[in-house]
Amino acid sequence: MYGNAAIGEAAIRAGCQCYFGYPITPQNELTEYMATNLSRRKGCSFVQAESEVSAINMVYGASLAGVRTMTSSSSPGISLKQEGISYLAACELPAVIVNISRGGPGLGSISAAQSDYFQSTRGGGHGDYRTIVLAPSSVQELADLTHRAFDLADRYRIPVIILGDGMLGQMMEPLEFKYDAPSELPVRSDALRGAKGRPSRIVKTFTSRPTELEELNWSLFRRYRLIEKEETTYEIYLVEDAELVVVAFGAAARIAKGAIRNARANGLKVGMFRPITLWPFPYEKISELTQTTKHFLVFEMNMGQMIEDVKLAVEGKREISFYGRPGGVIPTPSEVLRVITRLYYQKGLKTEK
């Protein structure tokens, strides 16, 4: 199954009831999957919106009604959704937003890139808020993390972003679904469904009293602290004895892994650290690694965005190098292996005896 379709199927199995999208490459197969498979399910709805601005606002509406809802797009379309995401965050509404990202800036290229790291992890739109950001690196993980995204969104009443890329969305890999679609679709208890038998509810953020908004900001950030504590996720690979640790996420991480396998075969003690939640970012674990690792290499398919978080985590205790290919160029494992090898010897790191 294609990565894009895997997300769609996983969303349906997670009880996603409403999907709103707008065509954009390289995520079209997801929209098309929902058109074919969600539109005819009982109680479900699919709309091809007239723009991404509309699509995210439809998500806002469906989330108000208390159902699991999702939209997907690629970089330029995600830019248009930022206003809506800010409103979702402000109103504490759960939603899942998929970014099968591509090269930028501007119309850019439709090839896979990771240049939306800042946009995803820094809120993206206006105001003081965060969104949970999940970064899958295989088709299996696209499906698994989609399911998790819906759960997280509901548990913390927060928009969750799945940051994939054109390579993951377009490729096909063996895949297993761990859940069946629920027979009953969940409805949140705080939904707006008419004030029948209860006092009326208002969902809003605007206020003429700054202190009231300040209180909202505080309560959001208390929740964000909780998310940081509970939900930070990462993968480590051969780091125990590593002199050099490559830090990479998503598609870049699987490429790095291939390179590391070969580096190990050549006797270089290299490991990998892969953040799976980009926000919350696993600062603590990286900080821990500074005790055992001499050097970090951050590898991204952009000009260096996640490296800022790695620097925050390393706090100057170790040296950090960077290798990146922007614009939608997909580096090869052997290219990364060359970078690792050169760096390894330049820094005089110890090899296997």
Ligand X SMILES: Cc1ncc(C[n+]2csc(CCOP(=O)(O)OP(=O)(O)O)c2C)c(N)n1
Percent helix, strand and coil across the chain, each to the nearest 5 = 40, 20, 40
Q: Does 22 bind other proteins (CB under 8 A)?
A: yes
- Give the one residue of 76, 186, 258, 327 binding ligand X; rule: CB under 6 A: 76
- Give the one residue of 101, 120, 170, 302 binding other proteins; rule: CB under 8 A: 170
CA distance 22 to 49: 6
Structure tokens at 89: 């965050």
- In the range 130-169, which residues lie near other proteins by CB under 8 A? 166-167
Q: Does 261 bind other proteins (CB under 8 A)?
A: yes
Please spell the DSSP secondary structure of 87-112, one letter per residue. Answer: HHHHTT--EEEEEEE-B-STT-BSS-
Q: Which residue has the tokens 């349906």?
A: 12
**Contact flags string 25-64 toward ligand X, x per CB under 6 A:** ---------------------------x------------
Q: Which is nearer to ligand X, 115 or 293 (CB)?
A: 115
Residues in Cβ contact with 172 at an 8 Å cutoff, skipping those fewer than 6 apart = 1, 2, 3, 139
Structure tokens at 180: 């069946």
The site for ligand X, by CB under 6 A, has a size of: 8
- Give the one residue of 91, 171, 181, 192 binding other proteins; rule: CB under 8 A: 171
Q: Which is nearer to other proteins, 285 or 311 (CB)?
A: 285
Q: Does 114 bind other proteins (CB under 8 A)?
A: no
127: number of CA atoms within 13 Å, CB side?
23
CB atoms within 10 A of CB 50: 9
Chain residues that interact with other proteins, rule: CB under 8 A:
22-26, 28, 31-32, 35-36, 39-40, 47-48, 50-52, 76, 106-107, 110, 166-167, 170-174, 238, 240-241, 254-259, 261-262, 264-265, 330, 332-333
